[in-house]
């Protein structure tokens, strides 16, 4: 019997950020559902069995720790990748569903003790005037020309396509 060889694909920085952000969205959705259940239990709609509230609270705590770990991990990935260009001072980072749908995200970076707005591209983005192509993972300082030529032409990095994703987004907005 031949052994199967599993080859793990090495993810690029942007692919890693997208995968981690999707996992973070799932973790936040679990936290939202658990908080909703805890809220319903406390309102007396359901009769809990013994210490269900304590179990639920500890589960929420564990998932919140995982959420924090993911956000810190993604911030460290950004810091390591772009420390040669910019000084990045944020401690937590994640991509929202909206940022993954538009294909870029806005960052605040520091260069020569100046605070600057920058754009992290999540997909390869062609210019509207057939100029150069900006590769996924590049950070560019924000300008009006960049917005006009590139930001409106970014293809999406990920689009939630299931009803459950939309339901979880709704749950998060209700619970906040």
Decide if pLDDT at 68 tops 60.
Answer: yes
Higher pLDDT, 171 or 45: 171
pLDDT for 76? 94
For the stretch 38-62, pLDDT in tens is 877 777 755 655 555 678 888 899 9
Q: Look at the chain and count its residues.
A: 176
**Among residues 89, 62, 69, which one has the least CA distance to residue 20?**
69
Q: Mean pLDDT for the chain? A: 83
- DSSP assignment letter at 153: G
User: How deeply is 161 buried, as exposed, middle or buried, from its count of CB atoms within 10 A (0-12, 13-18, 19+)?
Assistant: exposed
pLDDT for 10? 73
pLDDT for 80? 93
Distance CA 151, CA 73 (A): 26
Q: Describe the strand order of the beta sheet including 139-141 as a list of residue ranges.
A: 104-111, 114-121, 139-141
């Amino acid at each position: 019997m031949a052994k199967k060889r599993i080859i793990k694909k090495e993810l690029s920085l942007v692919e890693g950020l997208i995968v981690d952000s999707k996992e973070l969205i799932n973790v936040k959705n679990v936290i939202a559902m658990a908080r909703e259940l805890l809220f319903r239990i406390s309102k007396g709609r359901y009769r809990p069995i013994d210490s269900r509230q304590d179990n639920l609270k500890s589960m929420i705590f564990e998932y919140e720790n995982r959420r924090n770990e993911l956000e810190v991990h993604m911030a460290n990935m950004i810091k390591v990748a772009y420390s040669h260009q910019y000084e990045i001072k944020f401690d937590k980072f994640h991509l929202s569903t909206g940022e993954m749908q538009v294909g870029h995200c806005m960052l605040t970076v520091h260069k020569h003790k100046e605070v600057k707005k920058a754009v992290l591209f999540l997909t390869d983005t062609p210019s509207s005037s057939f100029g150069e192509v900006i590769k996924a993972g590049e950070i560019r300082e924000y300008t009006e020309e960049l917005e006009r030529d590139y930001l409106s032409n970014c293809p999406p990095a990920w689009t939630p396509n299931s009803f459950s994703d939309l339901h979880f987004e709704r749950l998060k907005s209700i619970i906040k």
